[in-house]
């Protein structure tokens, strides 16, 4: 798989990155190198290799799954910089 100039522009648009025309060729080479490396990884024989979540073997800490009332809502809401009734008020992040 290789990336052409149009694909580089499309990726930059999706990532909301401003890319000048003189940078397209360099980015095209970088993306093609990344994809070539990923293709090399696909050729590796991983039969018998267990999936892992970390490079060091460890067990995840677990706690009992107990339903609670959340503690003291009044005390929790005192930490809110802004609140409306029993809810935290947060800035709008989606337009």
Q: Are 64 and 53 in contact (CB under 8 A)?
A: no
Q: Are 3 and 22 in contact (CB under 8 A)?
A: no
Residue 24: domain span: 5-42
Residue 89 located in a structural domain:
no
Per-residue confidence band for 37, with pLDDT thresholds at 50, 70 and 90? very high
Nearest partner of 5 among 35, 25, 32, judged by Cα: 25
Residue 22 located in a structural domain:
yes
**What are the CA-CA distances from residue 25 to residues 7, 21, 50, 62, 68 (Å)?**
11, 8, 39, 50, 57
Higher pLDDT, 36 or 60: 36
Would you state the pLDDT for residue 69?
67
What is the DSSP code (8-state) at residue 55? S
If one counts the domains in the chain, the total is 1
The pLDDT of residue 47 is above 70:
yes
Per-residue confidence band for 26, with pLDDT thresholds at 50, 70 and 90? very high
Residue 83 located in a structural domain:
no
Residue 9 located in a structural domain:
yes
Query: Tens digit of pLDDT for each residue in 48-90?
Result: 988 887 888 878 889 898 887 677 888 888 888 899 988 889 8
Query: Tens digit of pLDDT for each residue in 4-21?
Result: 999 999 999 999 999 999
Residue 33 located in a structural domain:
yes
Whole-model pTM?
0.51
Which residues on neighbouring strands pair with residue 32, listed in sequence order?
none
Backbone angles phi, psi at 4, to 5 degrees: -100, 175
Residue 27 located in a structural domain:
yes
Nearest partner of 9 among 27, 32, 29, 36, judged by Cα: 27
Residue 74 located in a structural domain:
no
């Amino acid at each position: 798989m290789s990336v052409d100039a149009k694909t580089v522009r499309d990726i930059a648009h999706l990532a909301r990155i401003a890319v000048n025309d003189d940078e397209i060729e360099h980015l095209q080479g970088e993306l093609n190198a990344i994809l070539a490396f990923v293709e090399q990884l696909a050729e590796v024989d991983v039969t018998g290799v267990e999936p892992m979540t970390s490079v060091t073997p460890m067990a995840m800490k677990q706690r009992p799954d107990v339903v609670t009332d959340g503690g003291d809502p009044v005390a929790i809401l005192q930490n809110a910089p802004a609140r409306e009734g029993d809810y935290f008020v947060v800035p709008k992040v989606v337009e």
